[in-house]
Structure 1
Amino acid sequence: MSGQSKILAFVDIETTGLSPASCEMIELGILLYEYDEQLQTLTELDRYNGFEVPTYPIYPHITRITGITNEMVEGQRFNDEKVIELFKQADGIIAHNASFDRSFLLKRYSFLQDLKWHCSMRSVKWKEYGFVNKKLTTLLDAHGISREHAHRAMDDIEATAFLLQKTNPEGNMYLTEVLKKAMGKPKSVVKR
């Protein structure tokens, strides 16, 4: 692999709620891409999508948002071996609202604190470019990108990757903007 290529793990999770202290992941999606900076291309290398049954039943309002039912997750567990294999290949991780995904993922896969995290929601000057907000649905609609299911891990990841290959008003791929800004270490793991 040339020095101008990177392996990027695009990730998205669905959860039983907003707090990583009291809520759990119920869906995890990872798309591993090779990014060739010179040609500005993404090539899919591998993918994983899985469910996990939470400790407590999924609340109806979460099912309304995600479409994930208790029946879908019954008896399911994430394939940790596959998840770790994919993440260990990555030079960096990209997620839309990455601080949310990272807060849940670090509880289970603490080694992810050592990877560069990039946020496609906060690293692009979406509002300066004239978008009403930074929500994924808003940005996808504005770029004419459709997805089968909103708030489903793999659909959101594929749509995010497609969005980031579009160009900003300066003619650069949004992805180049995202990769220029890595998130800082989470406060709980900052070494003093």
Structure 2
Amino acid sequence: MLFDIPWAIVDLETTGGHIGRDRITEIGLIMLDGDQLRRYQTLVNPLQPIPPFIENMTGISNEMVQAQPPFADIAGALLPMLQGRLLLAHNVRFDYGFLRNEFRRVGLRLQSATLCTVKLSRRLYPQHFKHNLDSIIQRHGLQLPERHRAMADAEALLLFLQAAVAELGEEVVQEAIRQVLAQPELPPGVDAALVDELPDLPGVYTIWGEQDAALYVGRASNVRGKVVSQLAQDGKYGKEPSIQRPIRRIECQETVGELGAHLLEQRLLRELQPFYNHRSRLANDLCSIQLDHGQGEFMRPAIVYADQLDFSRTADLYGLFRSPKEARKVLAEIANGNGLCQSVLGVEALTSRKGAGCAGIGSGRCRGACIGKEAAPQHNMRLMQALARIKVKPWPFPSPVAVVETDEVTGVAVEHVFDRWCYLGSRAAGEQALAGTPSFDIDTYKLLDAYLKKPAEGSSLRLLG
């Protein structure tokens, strides 16, 4: 026995390679429970045309699937055949992704472990360069009646496993399978059941500790994969903080699109103040820079705060900062990089010695505004030019807008409403009430500005009011 649990080889034919837009046209399934082997195959009506290229490659025509059941009609019977099994496929992410999306369209969830036979072939036969199915068939001399049909390709994978066992021995194949299946080990004290039910879907997750303390909030395109990686600290998803405190539960909120995930993550960070999230992301001292024209001839930057001034309705703001320390640091960098006087900009105080200039005079970083060598109009002009690069953009619309994100699999649409860079909340498309706390902050501004420069696929912008 190669596996300790029930397993199945699955192969699909589809209308194309886009996991969201294309549909399944044929399913081939070989199920193995110990020594018992069962087969299931069916054509599926994709409810969309099969492109000529795909028809020529697979031999499955529009006429062949016209009278066949759509996936929704077989989903209820098919799910028990797959759920809980180890699913094997050649490039398993493709087949598993298509199946999972088809089940999502009818309100069902498929959650199974997977094994990619491409990876298994590479591990068993590292001396070979190619590991596509045609190469494997040729390499092992597998005899098949046809190719590019679902059951035939599933049979090819079964023959490949049998050939590998015959050539290398069952123990070698089992060890290779264990290595391919190897999952990051959870640290002691973390119950595997906490992550088993998390979805392999995009969303925002919250790790909770004792006494309902929020430990960490994160965002992921595959929540379960990222949480396992983070807890095991395997580095697969980048450097995430190691959770050293006891974990009591993990919650996940699935999201429709990337913008919605960012907005939800930001809201939870503000509301929960999780212990392990970077403190700078949780700072609540939003400030900006305005130019003060009232003290002599020189324009002087002044730090202004969002809790004292409505940034969403204030023009001529320069930069958004999480703290006054960050604002002063940027002013110092602007002074040094543009020959401006740090004392005029308020970054440093002048010495009391008569006639002494700022610290930048001696190093040539200041052109002498502090000692009368540079006139105010010239200094002001250069200051305005330097600050122009960080000026907060004016709101580009005559009214509030809704960014509409649509799940291309389920068709569910969500609207995220903004006005004057302020996030007002989110709602299901067509609803009036908004969920979420209205806020103007640096993260929302940057997020929406980036979206407007490059709108995400599957989203649209709608003017309101």
TM-score range relative to shorter protein = 0.7 to 0.9
Corresponding position of 1:139 = 136
Which residues in structure 2 correspond to 1:61-80 (within 5 Å)? 61-77=53-69, 78=71, 79-80=74-75
TM-score when normalising by structure 1:
0.81
Which residues in structure 2 correspond to 1:147-158 (within 5 Å)? 147-158=144-155
| CA RMSD between the two structures | 2.7
Question: Which amino acid in structure 1 is aligned with residue 136 of structure 2?
Answer: L
Secondary structure of the residue aligned to 2:164 is coil
Partner Cα distance (1:87, 1:138) in 2: 28
Distance 1:84 1:61, change over 3 A: same
Partner Cα distance (2:42, 2:18) in 1: 21
Corresponding position of 1:24 = 23
Greater mean alpha carbon deviation, residues 54-63 or residues 126-135:
126-135
Corresponding position of 2:46 = 54
Q: Which has the higher contact order (CA 8 A, sep 6+)?
A: 1
Partner Cα distance (1:94, 1:188) in 2: 22
Secondary structure of the residue aligned to 1:26 is strand
Corresponding position of 2:375 = none
Partner Cα distance (2:149, 2:173) in 1: 21
Partner Cα distance (1:28, 1:73) in 2: 12
Partner Cα distance (1:183, 1:137) in 2: 27
Question: Which amino acid in structure 2 is aligned with residue 54 of structure 1?
Answer: P
Structure 2 residue ranges without an equivalent (≥5) = 184-199, 202-219, 228-465
Partner Cα distance (1:151, 1:126) in 2: 24
1:124 and 2:125 matched: no
Partner Cα distance (2:39, 2:10) in 1: 10
TM superposition shift of 1:82? 2.6
**Greater than 6 Å deviation, 4+ residue runs:** none
Distance 1:145 1:128, change over 3 A: closer
Question: Which amino acid in structure 2 is aligned with residue 119 of structure 1?
Answer: C
Distance 1:179 1:70, change over 3 A: farther
Partner Cα distance (2:97, 2:118) in 1: 16
Corresponding position of 2:11 = 12
1:86 and 2:78 matched: no
Distance 1:124 1:31, change over 3 A: same
Bigger-Rg structure (1/2): 2
Distance 1:19 1:173, change over 3 A: farther
User: Is the Cα–Cα contact under 8 Å of residues 124 and 173 in structure 2 kept in the other structure?
Assistant: no
User: Is the Cα–Cα contact under 8 Å of residues 117 and 183 in structure 1 kept in the other structure?
Assistant: no
Partner Cα distance (2:178, 2:79) in 1: 22
TM-score when normalising by structure 2:
0.36
TM superposition shift of 1:51? 1.4
Secondary structure of the residue aligned to 2:53 is helix
Question: Which amino acid in structure 2 is aligned with residue 188 of structure 1?
Answer: S
1:102 and 2:96 matched: yes
Partner Cα distance (1:16, 1:8) in 2: 26
Greater mean alpha carbon deviation, residues 163-172 or residues 90-99:
163-172
Partner Cα distance (2:18, 2:221) in 1: 15
User: Is the Cα–Cα contact under 8 Å of residues 145 and 159 in structure 1 kept in the other structure?
Assistant: yes
Distance 1:179 1:156, change over 3 A: farther
User: Is the Cα–Cα contact under 8 Å of residues 5 and 34 in structure 1 kept in the other structure?
Assistant: no
Question: Which amino acid in structure 2 is aligned with residue 87 of structure 1?
Answer: L
Corresponding position of 1:181 = 180
Corresponding position of 1:171 = 169
TM superposition shift of 1:7? 0.9
Secondary structure of the residue aligned to 1:125 is helix
Distance 1:136 1:105, change over 3 A: same
**Post-superposition CA distance 1:144-174 (Å, at most 9, x none):** 1021221111011011011112237653477
Structure 1 residue ranges without an equivalent (≥5) = 36-41
Distance 1:102 1:65, change over 3 A: same
Corresponding position of 2:289 = none
Secondary structure of the residue aligned to 1:145 is coil
Secondary structure of the residue aligned to 2:5 is strand
Secondary structure of the residue aligned to 2:45 is coil
Partner Cα distance (2:153, 2:172) in 1: 16
User: Is the Cα–Cα contact under 8 Å of residues 26 and 150 in structure 2 kept in the other structure?
Assistant: yes
Distance 1:164 1:175, change over 3 A: farther
